[in-house]
Amino acid sequence: MTAALFNVSTHMEGSLQRPGKIICVGRNYAAHAKELGNVVPDKPLLFFKPPSSIIDNGETIILPPPSLTKQVEHEAEVGVVIGARLRNVDGKAARNGIAGITCVNDVTARDLQKTDGHWVRAKGFDTFCPWGPKIVPFPSDDQLAKTEVTCRVNGSLRQHGHVADMVFSIPFLVSYVSQVMTLEPGDLIATGTPEGVGPLKSGDVVEVEVTGVGVLRNPVR
């Protein structure tokens, strides 16, 4: 059966279709790898977030109880939404198979990421994947070179990065993932976060902004 193509225009704000899977890329900005004491990888570092972690613009990020984690942090990222079934494709086909981009906040329990040895709990709590507010068509190369990702907490700037500074480009990442698993229309790839990750506490309002997409705003409780 051929999957239907993902149509960006039918997924406007407030009606985003949940992805079947969420693949994330770690340490894709050199300065962020360094701030956490990690080396820049020579291959993309991949991990999953469960689709159950998705929340939409305006919904609340729920902090787990302190018995589980005491260090929850924001990670502002460009989200890539897949538009076609992609299996073992090259970079050019990967680019053509991208439906669009959106904002993602890869919320992370940093203490668990360090102590668990794998990242299932650290990245996987319910509400730990805000995305939106909408999906816009994949930018031209010129636009992409000027695309920035920004994070603000209570109006204060925390993160500011440029897509041009990614270690691995978006088409390369999509191609790389497709060599491992079939990507389906609607799947989401979070492409890594720039430097400046930091804590979230109850009462905060966290915003992720991607040029051309808009602002993803979520309260924290």
Cβ closer to Zn ion: 8 or 33? Answer: 33
Q: Closest distance between Zn ion and the C-beta of residue 192, in Å?
A: 6
Q: Are 188 and 98 in contact (CB under 8 A)?
A: no
Cβ closer to Zn ion: 113 or 193? Answer: 193
The first and second tokens of residue 91, run together, are 């970079």
Q: Closest distance between Zn ion and the C-beta of residue 76, in Å?
A: 9
Rounded CA separation 31/98 (Å): 27
Name which of 186, 49, 196 is nearest 124 in CA terms. 49
Q: Are 196 and 148 in contact (CB under 8 A)?
A: no
Q: Closest distance between Zn ion and the C-beta of residue 17, in Å?
A: 22
Residue nearest to Zn ion (CB): 106
Question: Given the rule CB under 5 A, which residues bind Zn ion?
Answer: 75, 106, 193
Q: Closest distance between Zn ion and the C-beta of residue 50, in Å?
A: 14
DSSP at 62: P
Cβ closer to Zn ion: 48 or 172? Answer: 48
Residue 53, classed as helix, strand or coil, is helix
Rounded CA separation 51/35 (Å): 28
Cβ closer to Zn ion: 147 or 193? Answer: 193
